[in-house]
Amino acid sequence: MSNYYLTFSDFLKKKFGQKVYKVTLDAGFSCPNRDGTLSSDGCIFCDDSGSFSRLYSPTLPIEEQLQVGMVKIKNRYHAEKFLAYFQAYTNTYKPVNELKQLYDKVFIDNVVGMSIGTRPDCVDEEKLDLISSYNVDNRFIQVEYGIQSVHDKTLKFINRGHDFACFEKACKKSKERGLTVCAHVILGLPNETYDDMMQTAKTLAKMSIDGIKIHMLAVMEGTKIQKMFDEGKINLMSEEDYISTVCDFLEYLPPDMIIQRLAGNGKREIRIQPRWLGKKLELVGKMEKEFERRGTKQGSKFSK
Ligand code: SF4
């Protein structure tokens, strides 16, 4: 539990009366920004795992991946409740009948919810209707949209292939259906100023978004960002800078927005920089200390 921000773990514990553990899944999706539909290059920071961080058994069918993941977590933490998390690539990028067959498979045993990572330009009314059909029996049903920044100039530069208006539309349609919406942002993107990042916080704070995942720009092997980094074209934030910027960012968010991540690790084997990024717990501890020093917390500067 944190005294400074609403953690995802605390939110789920309150909703379900006990800790809920995420099982990450790879359902074999692709991404229109990688398969040539929009581009074949992908976002400039994306490595070829499609932003996927951990997997229990990648080659198995989805129901077996889930079972294997649950058993491992159960043995390690005595876990009893689980969230199926479709993380890799764009998890709505298939026809709706195929999505139904896939999503239907995860509601087994003690799975109390599902979270689907996708792009805002890869959902439509039909797909959102399908996802909201699982929103019964006090389940937690969430759609996670990669947006990274609210600034169109940045979205263009990082080659997202969609604009902010597209994200706004997807959020609105998701919220109309009672879905939980989580936005992914990256701090330290090329050409973004401190004010740009704070503007992202303030803009997201005004939308009825439920959750947020914050990442630090990392240089991963084989990405466009790596090339830019090698050519000396980008500067990465220092750890101190990142900690301070994240605290500033959280101060602008509503106190009830669920903070689902404060830093991503990226795959250690292909992460080139920054080296300090791997120690997530330590980093989060330093952010809490910074809040303590300031006497502030999430929402301190939030106004409706
Ligand atoms: S949308 Fe996601 S999977 Fe697709 S290129 Fe961008 S980061 Fe990678």
Q: How does residue 278 score in pLDDT terms, banded at 50, 70 and 90?
A: confident
Q: How far is ligand 1, taken at its centre, from the CA of residue 96, in Å?
A: 20
Between CA 203 and CA 159 the distance in angstroms is: 21
Contact between residue 13 and residue 20 where contact means Cβ atoms under 8 Å apart: yes
Of all protein residues, whose CA lies closest to atom 5 belonging to ligand 1? Answer: 42
Q: Is 18 exposed, middle or buried (0-12, 13-18, 19+ CB in 10 A)?
A: exposed
CA nearest neighbour of 150 among 214, 213, 203: 203
pLDDT score of 304: 77
- Atom number of ligand 1 nearest to Cα 159: 6
Q: Which one, of 141, 157, 138, lies nearest residue 149 by Cα?
A: 157
Confidence at residue 56, expressed as pLDDT on a 0 to 100 scale = 56
Residues 6+ apart with CB under 8 A from 175: 181, 208
pTM for the model:
0.95
Q: What pLDDT was estimated at residue 264?
A: 78
Which DSSP symbol is given to 84?
E
Ligand 1, closest atom to CA 42?
Answer: 5
Which residue CA neighbors atom 6 of ligand 1 most closely?
43
Q: How far apart are CA 286 and CA 279, in angstroms?
A: 11
Q: Which residues line ligand 1 (CB under 6 A)?
A: 31, 33-34, 42-43, 46, 50-51, 89-90, 119, 146
Q: How far is the CA of 33 from the centre of ligand 1 (A)?
A: 6
The Cα–Cα gap between 274 and 216 comes to 9
Q: How confident is the model at residue 13 (pLDDT cuts 50, 70, 90)?
A: very high
Q: What is the per-residue pLDDT for 50?
A: 55
Task: Tell me phi and psi for residue 181, to 5 degrees.
Answer: -115, 130
**HSE value, Cβ hemisphere, 13 Å, CA-based, for 200:** 31
Q: What are the φ/ψ torsions at residue 303 (nearest 5 degrees)?
A: -135, 140
The pLDDT confidence band at residue 182, using thresholds 50, 70 and 90, is: very high
CA 219 vs. chain centroid, Å, equals 18
Helix (H) / strand (E) containing 140: strand 140-148
279-298 residue pLDDT tens? 888 999 999 999 999 999 99
**pLDDT the model gives residue 277:** 81
Nearest Cα neighbor of 104 from 137, 71, 130, 65 is 130
Q: How do residues 233-270 score in pLDDT, each as one tens digit?
A: 999 999 999 999 999 999 999 999 999 999 876 777 77
Domain boundaries, the chain: 8-294
Mean pLDDT for the chain overall? 93
CATH of 8-294, one of 1.10.1740.110, 3.40.50.1440, 2.60.40.10, 3.80.30.20: 3.80.30.20
Q: Is there a contact between 77 and 21 (Cβ–Cβ < 8 Å)?
A: yes
Residues 90, 142, 85, CA angle at the centre, nearest 5°? 60
Give pLDDT, residue 18: 96
pLDDT at 122 over 70: yes
Which is more confident, 51 or 29? 29
pLDDT-based confidence at 170, cuts 50/70/90? very high
Report the atom number in ligand 1 closest to the C-alpha of 119: 1
Rounded Cα distance, 211 and 196, in Å: 20
Q: How far is the CA of 294 from the centre of ligand 1 (A)?
A: 36
Q: Which two tokens stand for residue 199?
A: 């503007």
Contact 271, 278 (CB under 8 A): yes
- Whether 225 and 275 have beta carbons less than 8 Å apart is answered as no
Q: Roughly how many angstroms between the first and final C-alpha of the chain, as a whole number?
A: 26
Give the 3-state secondary structure of residue 153. Answer: helix
> Nearest-CA neighbor of 186 among 231, 155, 209, 164?
155
* Partners of residue 258 on adjacent β-strands: 211
User: According to the model, what pLDDT value does residue 164 have?
Assistant: 98
Residue type, 239: E
